[in-house]
Copies of this chain bind each other. A is one copy, B any other.
Amino acid sequence: MADKAMVLFSGGVDSTTCLALALERYGKGNVIPLSILYGQKHEKELEAAKQILDFYQIKGMELDLTTIFANSNCSLLAHSNEKIPQTTYSEQLKQTNGAPVSTYVPFRNGLFLASAASLAIGEGCSSIYYGAHHDDAAGNAYPDCSEGFYTSMNQAIYEGSGKALKVEAPFIGWNKAHIVKEGLRLGVPYHLTWSCYEGGEKPCGVCGTCIDRNNAFLANGISTLSS
């Protein structure tokens, strides 16, 4: 039986590139994208995810974990009154004194990986692909993107699955510009991806993730992508 991989897939730049890499390595029939609803302020991400799956002509799984974050005050969540900061992550970290930024959803990636693990074992996968990268972890902005987190979570999933399942984070030591470079090689349909934390008609251009996205494309000589 061919190896199968599950991919944590949000419809953003990182996870779409991760999906493209998994498709290259495992082949179309052996990749299961998993998209997770967690109460984010808008559903643009998931709409983007659907368009990207159509582009690749594959089907994905969806999981709704909204109830788990019902009491969190994270600014990314629909029920929160906190505003999403309009500045870079390094500026935000000065405000938080090195604590996670206000768009950190409590242990979100840990929960996503654990959920993916439970599903992946049921689907007979041997790997979970996870698009975390170095920029997001910098300065503790998103501690659940750090290499320390990834290494121990991978080990926990390997041990807790009876050594049946591993996590692969191919971009863990990379910056976002490096991911985009790889994605351009893979022909990723970046025009379909969505990054902005706000749910407007067009990307706001001023939230942390818009700034990061634009810089990553600029570093690859591209300045006109639409979101």
Interface string of A47-64 (1 = CB under 8 A from B): 000000000000000011
Tell me whether B146 and A118 are in contact (CB under 8 A): no
A73: nearest residue on chain B (CB-CB)? Answer: B122
Q: Which residue of B lies closest to A137 (CB)?
A: B159
Q: CB-CB < 8 A to A117: which residues of B?
A: 106-107, 110-111
Residue pair A107, B143 in contact (C-beta under 8 Å): no
Q: Is A153's beta carbon under 8 Å from chain B?
A: yes
> Which residue from B64, B109, B118, B159 sits with its C-beta under 8 Å from A152?
B159
Residue total for A at the interface (Cβ-Cβ under 8 A)? 44
- Chain A contact surface mostly: helix
In the complex, chain B residues whose CB is within 8 Å of the CB of A144? 159-161
> Please, how many angstroms separate the alpha-carbon atoms of A18 and B162 in the complex?
25
Which B residues touch A160, using CB under 8 A? 107, 109-110, 143-144, 146, 149, 153
Central interface residue in A100, A122, A156, by most chain B CB within 10 Å: A156
Interface readout for A155-186 with B: 1 if CB under 8 Å, 0 if not? 11101111101000000000000000000000
Q: Is A219 an interface residue (CB 8 A)?
A: no
Task: Apart from A110-B117, A111-B115, list 20 A-B contacts with CB within 8 A.
Answer: A63-B67, A64-B67, A68-B115, A68-B118, A69-B122, A71-B122, A100-B162, A104-B162, A106-B161, A110-B118, A110-B160, A111-B114, A143-B159, A143-B160, A149-B159, A152-B152, A152-B155, A153-B156, A155-B155, A155-B156
The 5 closest A-B pairs by CB, nearest first: A114-B114, A106-B121, A152-B155, A144-B160, A153-B156
Residues in chain A within 8 A of chain B (CB atoms): 63-64, 67-69, 71-73, 99-100, 104-111, 113-115, 117-119, 121-123, 140, 143-144, 146, 148-149, 152-153, 155-157, 159-163, 165
